Structure 1
């Protein structure tokens, strides 16, 4: 449309100065652009338009800053998060990534609407391809509306492209229930149109549409969106004059849980996914760790868990997700350590026998990184963890390729000198980009030892939806319906795959174990931010300061070392858990941030919008 407006303006100018305009000149088509009509009459151009809509998909953890940095799981190294400090407002919406920002997401929705309008009566001669494209666009429209819905609550539902003929561009927010129904309708249409279609990796499929529907219905049944429950837990929601924008003000909540359960089971019954979820006992810890790595790398069978993924190629400089190693590797490898796991997250990993880690237990406190859930070793880089060979400037200092997050003694125990770990903020390699918390991320990091240089990118996909989430959604719905044995059966299949023992609790204790299991299993997959809100556990989970670890290594009497290496034979290690401190980030919770504010510019443009409560 941009070139049309420019051409009109140019012709109007000519009409004033040159009345006898040459009609052939006026009919000249631009040589560097394609008209809308030409796009939809050519199958290849229509395919390119549809493909571009996918570019609005989130990078998730593979972005520089994980959404988990706005939860108790992680800290962002390069600045405070206004959401964490409850400082967001209509004029300061905080670090809202483009894939959640109101106007940007609606631009993608408009593109999907344009595609659906033009594909309703395809102008190219391949109805099968047109139907497949329509299925993809129904899915993407549902995907983008769900992004808005779980961030803002009910939003305006627009299902046709606005044009210059529209007399009024203002529209009110639909109710939460209407939004859920519209998204489910789009996903049902997508599932029908995409059934039996073989699509390239990264494209929407029948399974993706059905799995996203299961997620939408699970959220819809949760505490935050059952307004009677939400009002009892939040005075901000209780005082809001338009609660129907945030959830269900009436209706049968049990029926909503049943719909969520049925939707998840329908995906499970496709029998198209399920990486090693047929186990009846835990595998070994080593196999469990490798199973989990295979899942998030989508390799060696683990791709059978991936329902909808965003892929990257090293050749594309603009693919932010391919820069993940540079963004998140420790500074001792010239990485930025952008998203840093907190001590709260590390403490939430169970011991191998399924018991809770406890700092008051002397055995735990003296060796906090031993005998933990195998997913811990697959997800977190901690002091002493074996990792990749160092780059040339660090290889001589650390020939073992081990993570160094502490302050240690070197030389003789009788006259030691201080050595700062290469992955700390006192590193001799780089000291501006070290971790504040004492941890870095391993999950989603390609273990290829040649991928160390900060200028080398990787091709690990970003998980948008995977089958394990569907199974967890199913288990959660089962628990809500009182079907605890069925829930535990499937939860334990997930745990057996990583080498963890069965969960046996019931009632509130089972719910607590489930919520922790969900966080550990889907760590850094854009789940925690929304889960603690919809469960309404956010005041507890997000209301305290980020905790960090201080590690020191003291040489044992009679020991002498010239080059530091993690060794319990040579060193006595001590660990001190502390609050990060309000100077870095003053975390606190306010009920208004159950839902985020609509930007003031959007409110000014559309006088029919109602702002979220608390703003």
Structure 2
């Protein structure tokens, strides 16, 4: 398990120190500023610098990227609906229904400047480490591995957005103001090289004083994720959606990249067999237990200094009447995806199931969604329109309703034991990478390699731990359907669904010209009536151009060597 609570508590402006030391060398050390030798002769400075670099992971906590709100990426997909129609709280809805809002002039979906600022700081650290650090070679490699782990993570986000970006490997490359984009394939190889180096040189676990740092398992996990994305682009893109010569990944390399993804996933699985990671039996507990054995890399929070607002933003409205913001809620499309407890599919066409749709569902449903009749914090959730606090509100009638517009609330990650989050905020961990995802990567990669048995084994390991029977999938297409299903329900509200649809090149069909739904529940004399209602008041839009987000025009103006992604 890996956390960075101790890291993000520390603020260190070492980058500023490095900026002021660039000057002529003199024999006498100046007394009014730091020299490179002075900074790097003290290992404590290196610790502070690299600790500060870990703050980049908080940029993406709880799926906040790219809108600036928690869970916003899932609200761009089919599993979550933001409740507001206003810019700000409802910006994600505006972007989801108007593809023209994403453009080179606008700030939306923009991580370019922040990402490259972090990359420069990391390259400055690597330069100082190589030229001035007074530590042994083992420590040097570990520091380099940490810096490259973080740099790989930053580049991974940039490439997910733009495909083709500028690769900067060392500080010497900043001497010119003209930098060109590299091919998308070379970008993935660069990221993989960073994570590979990190995996080779990071420890399996750190001592207590360095708890929270990147580990071998975290690096292998990120490497597996990277190669899975590269393989997906190679297989599914095939230059159908963008004619830029630098975007896309060679289709002939898809199998090799799936093999790389599988190899990296198996390295994490081997660590699991050594006792470092393990699936939890209690699904809901994973996301509020700071000591969960599923976490491979996570961010911890400690009150009162380091907190977040997940509960304030997503807890059911009656948890703090008049104060809960209820940014986003689950869609019916997600709710319908959860299986019955025996592993059979749920169907509204089944009269028995439709009469009591929330009974006998799999444990992931109860750990992810709050529904009408659910027991929560000593009360029974009431999502009928009759409840004035947390009952159903038709989307668009109120601009910012602060209640459900689908008949559901998010359960996953919300703390069931506290009600003081308005004043004291929240401290649940954000798990960036957990063991369940590794098994899903292994299953997908093995399926694509036509290794049916091992793909089934990976899926069954996960499903059995969640109380479900073995998968019935026995062909590659069936296994891919099973993988998509498992990723949709297992990783819901973890910021994965939108990016999965993009890498599979399915977003332009799943997220375009469609309206997603909820369930309006009303009492009847003998029970409840469940009515399917739209939670979108206009069709979703995802045009093929959105597979490659444009580079901000200001960056093109600042760099004469940089060209825009074709199509923008």
CA distance in 2 between partners of 1:105 and 1:190 (Å): 19
1-side partners of 2:328 and 2:360: how far apart?
A: 25
Stretches of structure 1 lacking an aligned partner (at least 5 in a row):
9-26, 278-287, 390-400, 409-418, 557-570
| Equivalent residue number for residue 567 of structure 1 | none
Query: Where do 1:396-411 residues align within 5 Å?
Result: 401-408=379-386
Measure, in 2, the Cα distance between the counterparts of 1:133 and 1:423. Answer: 52
Q: Does 1:107 align with 2:107?
A: no
Q: Give the alignment partner of residue 507 of structure 2, picking from 535, 538, 546.
A: 538
Post-superposition Cα deviations, 1:248-286, rounded to whole Å, max 9, x if no partner, equal: 2x5343222222222211221233457555xxxxxxxxx
Matched, 1:135 2:104: no
- Check 1:44–1:445 CA distance in 2 against 1; reply closer, same or farther (3 A cut): same
What does the per-residue CA deviation read over 1:413-454, in whole Å, with 9 as the maximum and x for residues that have no partner? Answer: xxxxxx53535459xxxx841122222211112222x34442
Could you say which residue in structure 2 is the equivalent of 1:497? 465
What aligned pairs does 1:320-335 form with structure 2 within 5 A after superposition?
322-334=308-320, 335=324
Is the CA contact 1:132–1:197 (under 8 Å) kept in the aligned structure 2?
Answer: no
Cross-structure match for 2:96: 84
- 1:93 Cα deviation (Å)? 4.5
State the 1:356 CA deviation: 2.1
The verdict on how the C-alpha distance between 1:28 and 1:4 changes in structure 2, with shifts beyond 3 A counting, is farther
Deviates more, 1:457-466 or 1:189-198: 189-198
C-alpha root-mean-square deviation of aligned residues, in Å?
Answer: 2.9
Q: Which whole-Å deviations, capped at 9, do the CAs of 1:558-614 have from their partners, x for residues lacking one? A: xxxxxxxxxxxxx521111111242xx541221111122211111222232232343
Larger radius of gyration, structure 1 or 2? Answer: 1
2:171 alignment partner, SS class: coil
Which residue of 2 is the match for residue 436 of structure 1? 405
Partner of 1:155: 165
The CA distance in 2 between the partners of 1:129 and 1:121, in whole Å, is 14
Task: Find the partner of 1:295 among 286, 291, 294.
Answer: 286
Q: How far apart, CA to CA, are the structure 1 residues paired with 2:423 and 2:351?
A: 43
Q: Show the 5 A alignment for 1:458-469.
A: 458-469=426-437
Q: Is 1:119 matched up with 2:129?
A: yes
The residue aligned with 1:612 is: 565
C-alpha distance in 2 between matches for 1:29 and 1:47: 23
Alpha carbons 1:381, 1:403 under 8 Å: kept: yes
Between 1:353-362 and 1:171-180, the stretch displaced more is 353-362
Shift of 1:190: 1.3
Instruction: Give the C-alpha shift of residue 127 in structure 1.
Output: 4.8
TM-score scaled by length of structure 2? 0.85
**1:422–1:341 CA distance, 2 compared to 1 (3 A):** closer
Structure 1 residues 91, 481: closer, same or farther in 2, change over 3 A?
closer
Cα–Cα, structure 1 residues 442 and 187, in superposed 2: closer, same or farther, change >3 Å? same
Q: Alpha-carbon deviations, 1:328-384, whole Å to 9, x = none?
A: 112222321112111111111112222222222222222221111210100111111
Structure 1 residues 602 and 109: CA distance shift in structure 2, 3 A: same
1:203 is matched with 213
For 1:106 and 1:382, the matched residues in 2 are separated by 43
Q: Secondary structure at the match of 1:256?
A: helix
Counterpart of 2:397 in structure 1 is none
Query: Quick one: distance in 1 between partners of 2:261 and 2:135?
Result: 39
Over 3 Å counting, the alpha-carbon distance change for 1:5 and 1:355 in structure 2 is closer
Alignment match, 1:510: 479
Indicate the residue corresponding to 1:578 in structure 2. 533
SS of structure 1 residue aligned to 2:425:
coil
Alpha carbons of 1:38 and 1:442: their partners in 2 closer, same or farther (altered >3 Å)? farther
**1:197-255 Cα shifts (integer Å, max 9, x gaps):** 52533311111111111111111111x334xx4247x3x32xx141x42322x534322
For the 8 Å contact 2:304–2:424, the answer to whether it is kept is no
Report the CA distance between 1:46 and its aligned residue. 1.7
Distance 1:386 1:260, change over 3 A: same
Counterpart-to-counterpart distance in 2, 1:91 and 1:595 = 11
2:74 to 68, 78, 98: 68
How many residues are paired up? 523
Taking the aligned partners of 2:160 and 2:21, their CA distance within structure 1 comes to 41
User: Is contact 1:387-1:402 (8 Å) kept?
Assistant: yes
Unpaired runs of 5+ residues, structure 2, are 1-14, 23-29, 84-88, 395-399
* Equivalent position SS for 2:228: helix
The equivalences for 1:121-270 within 5 A come to 121-125=131-135, 127-161=137-171, 166=175, 168-196=176-204, 198-199=206-207, 200-222=210-232, 224-226=233-235, 229-231=236-238, 234=240, 236-237=241-242, 240-242=243-245, 244-248=246-250, 251-270=252-271
